[in-house]
């Protein structure tokens, strides 16, 4: 679509935005432009209400809350799975909210990684989030294998993105299991999940995806694409709060398998309290729960997901794409040439982009500091990426326009030169 660089144009886009009323449902930090929803989404009034409700129920019901709370704590993991199913394109029983992202990765790898004969290696990529790689390495070591030999990492040609054809070319008969991110955490590239799944299955490879950077921003069809398993965090685009409960998906053809990391919370619910010593997993994704659900970290997600049900993920995606293409346009028009020298590291095709834009600059660390001093919240990823996530439910086109004006002013005035080149412990 045709954009222009005027402020009036940004305001006009906001006037036409059908999702605009949702912004009022969030606590947007006063006087700030929040562009970091891909690291920690903002609190909504809906999420706050369901968290406060759990505290009230705990006060009034004590242990009775496991069944008498609304929704009941005992079934909350399954209920949150059902509410997320439309966001990932799965049946309600294929999704459950449980544990944390990296723990779910361990649990799924320990279930689905079955090295056999020559087919013994794991395939991943060198751009994935380090925690995923650490988990894969430790899973290999646990089985007496050597990550240097048994973890094959697909290389990036440009240090930013992955070519699907390179991934497919690495799917040899030595690979037992493949794991990729849906959206790459740094560049924001969205991989072709459907194609990768089809190619993996044609070669007898089990494939899973880390959807931390796509759920709540990009629609999925995990069931229709026959993805074997997936997992994601909910504190990014799903706005469940810091350390909020994570979630996982298991395709129904795998129901009834023994989970690699069994625990009583994955027992079939109707007999869980029989306390028998033979483990009988729930015949659904719920079988991959391990221990008692963390109700306090799950409660905000319940409110937040109702907001997504109201907005609809397709409308969220449409606005998100409009926001990110507008941001890319403004960087190209305003900030690409000297003395600004910013560039965009995110794929420009809509179908290859998640919800954030990697704006690159060789002075990115200091520019991020200067942005914060001006009340814009970005985040920094080494070596040179300023990640900006204009979030459909609470950011405006005017936020995007003003962010670009701030970047321009920082360079015009040399404001970043006042800051150190080292980043903080959390960036």
Ligand X SMILES: *Cc1c(COP(=O)(O)O)cnc(C)c1O
Cβ atoms of 387 and 378 within 8 Å: the answer is yes
Backbone dihedral region of 212: left (phi > 0), alpha (psi from -120 to 50 degrees) or beta?
alpha
Cβ proximity to ligand X, 214 vs 322, nearer residue: 214
Q: Is residue 363 close enough to count as binding ligand X by CB under 6 A? A: no
Using the rule CB under 6 A, give the single segment among 99-107, 197-205, 248-256, 378-386 that binds ligand X: 99-107
- The correct pick among 25, 82, 106, 213 for binding ligand X (CB under 6 A) is 213
Residue 394 annotated as catalytic = no
332 DSSP assignment: I
Site string for ligand X, 234-273 (x = CB under 6 A): ------------x---------------------------
Q: How far is the CB of 346 from ligand X (least distance, A)?
A: 15
Contact window for ligand X (CB under 6 A) among 48-56, 125-133, 187-195, 274-282? 125-133
Question: Catalytic: which of 74, 112, 113, 129?
Answer: 129
Q: Nearer to ligand X by C-beta: 186 or 416?
A: 186
Rounded Cα gap, residues 98 and 89, in angstroms: 18
Residue 132 binds to ligand X (criterion: CB under 6 A): yes
d(CA 303, CA 291): 23
Q: How far is CA 393 from the centre of its chain?
A: 16
> CB-wise, 139 or 396, nearer to ligand X?
139
Annotated active-site residue in 82, 236, 319, 366: 236
- State the minimum distance, in angstroms, from the CB of residue 425 to ligand X: 15
The answer to whether 37 contacts ligand X (rule: CB under 6 A) is no
Active site residue 125: no
- Check binding of 294 to ligand X (CB under 6 A): no
- Produce one character per residue of 341-368: b if its CB has 16 or more CB atoms within 10 Å, e if not: ebebbbbeeeebbbbbbbbbbebbbbbb
Q: How far apart are the first and last CA of the chain?
A: 34
Tokens of 331: 């960087």
In whole angstroms, give the CA distance from residue 322 to residue 343.
19
Does position 100 interact with ligand X (CB under 6 A)? The reply is yes
From the list 387, 394, 397, 399, the catalytic residue is 387
User: Rule CB under 6 A: is residue 131 a binding residue for ligand X?
Assistant: yes
User: Using CB under 6 A, which of 44, 101, 322, 346 touches ligand X?
Assistant: 101
The smaller minimum CB distance to ligand X, of residues 100 and 217, is found at 100
Maximum CA extent, the chain = 71
Please give the Cα distance from 85 to 96 (Å, whole number).
9
CB of 237 to ligand X, least distance (A): 10
From 22, 34, 112, 235, the catalytic residue? 235
Contact 390, 314 (CB under 8 A): no
- Total residue count of the chain as it appears in this document: 427
Q: How far is the CB of 233 from ligand X (least distance, A)?
A: 4
CB nearer to ligand X: pick between 85 and 124: 124
State how far the alpha carbon of 343 is from the alpha carbons of 34, 221, 328, in Å. Answer: 21, 32, 9
Strands (E), 300-378: 343-344, 357-360, 376-377
* Residue-by-residue DSSP string for 192-205: -HHHHHHHHHHTT-
Binding mask 161-200 for ligand X (x = CB under 6 A): --------------------x---x---------------
To the query of whether residue 236 is one of the catalytic residues in this protein, the response is yes
Contact status: 129 vs ligand X (CB under 6 A): yes
> Of all helices (H) and strands (E), which one includes residue 411?
helix 397-413
Closest CA to 353 of 383, 322, 378, 374: 322
The DSSP output letter for 186 is T
CA 191/CA 182 separation, integer angstroms: 6
Planar angle of CA 244, 250, 254, nearest 5 degrees: 155
Closest CB to ligand X among 125 and 132?
132
Beta bridge partners of 175: 121
**Which of 111, 139, 212, 403 lies at the binding interface for ligand X (CB under 6 A)?**
212
Instruction: Determine if 233 is a binding residue for ligand X (CB under 6 A).
Output: yes
- Say how many residues touch ligand X, by CB under 6 A: 13
267 is catalytic: no
- 210 flagged as catalytic: yes
Catalytic residue among 150, 210, 379, 399: 210
Using CB under 6 A as the criterion, which residues of the chain lie in contact with ligand X when the complex forms?
Answer: 100-102, 129, 131-132, 181, 185, 210, 212-213, 233, 246
Tell me which residues are annotated as active site. Answer: 129, 210, 235-236, 387
């Amino acid at each position: 679509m045709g954009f222009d660089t005027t402020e009036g144009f940004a305001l006009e886009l906001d006037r036409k935005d059908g999702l605009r009323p949702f912004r009022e449902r969030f606590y947007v930090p006063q006087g700030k432009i929040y562009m970091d929803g891909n690291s920690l989404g903002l609190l909504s009034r809906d999420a706050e209400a369901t968290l406060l409700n759990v505290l009230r129920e705990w006060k009034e019901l004590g242990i009775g809350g496991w069944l008498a709370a609304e929704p009941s704590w005992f079934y909350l993991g399954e209920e949150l799975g059902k509410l997320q199913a439309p966001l990932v394109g799965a049946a309600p029983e294929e999704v459950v909210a449980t544990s944390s992202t990296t723990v779910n990765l361990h649990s799924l790898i320990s279930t689905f990684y079955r090295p056999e004969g020559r087919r013994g290696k794991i395939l991943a990529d060198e751009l994935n989030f380090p925690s995923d790689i650490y988990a894969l390495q430790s899973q290999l070591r646990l089985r007496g294998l050597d990550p240097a030999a048994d973890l094959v990492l697909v290389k990036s040609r440009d240090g930013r993105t992955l070519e699907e054809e390179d991934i497919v070319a690495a799917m040899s008969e030595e690979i037992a299991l493949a794991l990729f991110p849906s959206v790459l955490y740094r560049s924001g590239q969205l991989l072709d999940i459907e194609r990768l799944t089809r190619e993996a299955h044609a070669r007898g490879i089990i494939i899973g995806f880390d959807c931390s950077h796509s759920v709540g921003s990009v629609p999925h069809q995990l069931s229709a694409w026959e993805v074997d398993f997936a997992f994601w965090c909910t504190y990014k685009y799903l706005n469940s709060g810091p350390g909020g409960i994570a979630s996982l998906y298991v395709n129904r053809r795998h129901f009834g398998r023994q989970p690699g990391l069994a625990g009583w919370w994955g027992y079939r619910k109707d007999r869980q309290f029989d306390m028998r010593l033979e483990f009988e997993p729930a015949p659904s994704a719920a079988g991959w729960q391990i221990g008692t659900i963390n109700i306090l970290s799950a409660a905000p997600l319940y409110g937040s997901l109702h907001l997504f049900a109201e907005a609809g993920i397709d409308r969220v995606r449409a606005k998100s794409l409009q926001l990110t293409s507008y941001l890319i346009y403004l960087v190209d028009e305003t900030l690409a040439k000297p003395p600004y020298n910013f560039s965009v590291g995110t794929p420009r095709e809509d179908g290859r982009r998640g919800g954030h834009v990697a704006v690159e600059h060789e002075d990115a660390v200091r520019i991020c500091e200067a942005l914060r001093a001006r009340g814009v919240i970005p985040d920094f990823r080494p070596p040179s990426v300023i990640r900006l996530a204009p979030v459909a439910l609470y950011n405006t086109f005017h936020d995007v326009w003003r962010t670009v004006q701030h970047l321009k002013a920082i360079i015009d005035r040399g404001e970043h030169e006042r800051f150190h080149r080292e980043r903080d412990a959390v960036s």
